[in-house]
Amino acid sequence: MLLGCIGDDFTGSTDLANMLVKGGMRTIQTIGVPQSPLAEDVDAVVVALKSRTNPAAEAITQSLAALAWLRQQGCRQFYFKYCSTFDSTPAGNIGPVTEALMDALLDLPNADFTIACPAFPENGRTIFRGYLFTGDTLLSESGMKDHPLTPMTDSNLVRVLQAQTRRKVGLIRYDTVASGAPAIRERIALLRRQGVAMAIVDAVSDADLVRIADACSDLPLVTAGSGIGLGLAQHYRNGGLLQSAEHAAAMPVQDGYAAVISGSCSVATNAQVGQWLQSRPGFRVDPLRIAAGEDSVAEAITWARPLLPVEPVLIYATSDATSVKAAQALLGVEHAGQLVETTLATIAQALVKNGVRKLVVAGGETAGAVVQALNVSALRIGPQIDPGVPWTLSQGEPPGVPRLALALKSGNFGAVDFFAKALAMVHRP
Ligand code: ADP
């Protein structure tokens, strides 16, 4: 195993796994830290945690458990993945988790230094002179300044990271990065002599990511968004270390029916649901009716059963902001969310009992609830549907439990025809 990754949230981990597969690495994503060794022969594993906004001590415990498991699998290099907008607060968790991982790797050569590079140029996240941009806007002027949990009010990542760690934070500037891997290595050596333990790295293009990955090949730990994953995969590929790069995304065809479950209320998902309903069947789940005691699961399945042999169905709670607010006002934000999540997850179980083997799920929290209800503990990453969202195949189910093709989309991802496009890749009516 070449690369062991620790992701601080579920859909961000899928984003990294998707990037590694695009770069030719056969990749598995696990949901939490697995209890047993990995059964399959792959090039990379991404352990998806839910640690981004936990108290730092908890995030550290989870991350160290993931690292210990990855070391047991024989990984050569380790990768701490966080958001490309560097989502964190002065209390953490990027700095504290990085420190803890560095300490735990101290028995390996070069573990006294690591990089921090959230750049993802394809998605408009670039870093120049240590400042992070989203598109043409500084991070602190973007929507991230108002994030409910991790408001980002300073775009200077050296300052942001320095506030989270006792170790010295430095910068590898764009002029060094543009000069190539040897110049970056020289700069790392100089920073080390100056007592720097972590360096923010400027990057504005995919070519920069490859140069950075080349220069970091002897660091046991890198910390980054998903972008550096692309550079690392290319580095391993150029070094002839990938056995079957051409087939990294291969996914066996699954028989069975297909369905879409949507619990996301994002602008993008509302448009995707609207597009689907213009020509295909859908069933709406309403939190107010669930709260009034109606059996929405039974109703949805009775509706879906005769349709499934004919065509894929959509079951959705997706609503516009006005109806969501109305439901939340009556039921409470958390209770409304929970009712819908539990109902959609139970519907997913019932759909699988009725022969569905290909399932698209929209919504980060919704996907988490569905995957848990279906007892899925790991996913083999397949071909990309839209940027950041791949098809996946469930792994390691007990005997008698069917294998599922799953496409798990977080709210704002995907083009307007995402559902039909995803199903066209795996489903022949
Ligand atoms: P996203 O990825 O777009 O954030 P999530 O699934 O993470 O989507 O979050 C959407 C949340 O909204 C979930 O908790 C879901 O149960 C809840 N929800 C879905 N539909 C409704 C609705 N009609 N009214 C209130 N809450 C809803």
Count, residues in the chain: 429
Query: 202, 85, 205, 203: which is closest to 134 by C-alpha?
Result: 85
Buried b (16+ CB within 10 A) or exposed e, 117-147: bbbbbbbebbbeebbbbbeeebbbebebeeb
161-186, pLDDT tens digit by residue? Answer: 999 999 999 999 999 999 999 999 99
Place of tokens 């006005």: 322
Q: Residue 287 corresponds to which tokens in the numbers above?
A: 């939190």
CA of 334 to the centre of ligand 1 (A): 10
Residues 360-371 have pLDDT tens digits of 999 988 998 999
Nearest Cα to Cα of residue 348 among 294, 310, 304: 304
> Is the CB of 317 inside a 6 Å radius of any atom of ligand 1?
yes
- Say yes or no: CB of residue 155 within 6 Å of ligand 1: no
d(CA 338, CA 341) in angstroms, rounded, equals 5
Q: In 3D, which of 427, 395, 38 has the Cα closest to residue 254?
A: 427
One-letter identity of residue 390: P
Name which residue sits closest to atom 24 of ligand 1, judged by CA: 324
**Backbone dihedral region for residue 362 (phi beyond 0: left; psi -120 to 50: alpha; all else: beta):** beta
> Is residue 132 within 8 Å of residue 118, measured between CB atoms?
yes
Q: Do domains 3-238 and 257-426 have the same CATH topology?
A: no
Q: At 266, is the pLDDT very low, low, confident or very high (cuts 50, 70, 90)?
A: confident
Distance from C-alpha of 358 to C-alpha of 391, rounded to nearest angstrom: 10
Judge if the beta carbon of residue 15 lies within 6 A of ligand 1: no
pTM of the predicted protein model:
0.89
Using only C-alpha atoms, the chain has a radius of gyration, in whole angstroms, of 22
Q: Which residue minimizes the CA distance to atom 6 of ligand 1? A: 363
Q: 271: Cβ–Cβ under 8 A, 6 or more apart, which residues?
A: 416
Q: Which of 332-346, 352-366, 387-401 has the lowest mean pLDDT?
A: 387-401
> Looking at 75-154, which runs of residues are DSSP E strands?
77-81, 114-117, 125-128, 131-134, 137-138
Q: Which CATH number fits domain 3-238: 3.90.870.10, 3.40.30.10, 3.20.20.70, 3.40.50.10840?
A: 3.40.50.10840
pLDDT at 145: 86
Greater confidence (111 vs 266) lies with 111
249 and 380 in contact (C-beta within 8 Å)?
A: no
Does residue 397 surpass a pLDDT of 80?
Answer: no
Predicted confidence at residue 387, as pLDDT, reads 84
Give the whole-angstrom CA distance, residue 252 versus residue 248.
12
| pLDDT, average across residues 237-262 | 91
Separation between Cα atoms, residue 409 and residue 296, nearest integer Å: 23
The domains of the chain are located at 3-238, 257-426
Distance 314 CA to ligand 1 centre (A): 16
Q: What is the pLDDT of residue 276?
A: 98
Summarised one tens digit per residue, pLDDT across range 198-208 is 999 999 999 99
Q: Is the CB of 263 under 6 A from ligand 1?
A: yes
At the topology level, CATH places domain 257-426 in Molybdenum Cofactor Biosythetic Enzyme; Chain A (3.40.980)
For position 43, what pLDDT does the model report? Answer: 96
Q: Is 268 left (phi over 0), alpha (psi -120 to 50) or beta?
A: alpha
Q: Residue 44: left if φ>0, alpha if ψ -120 to 50, beta else—which one?
A: beta
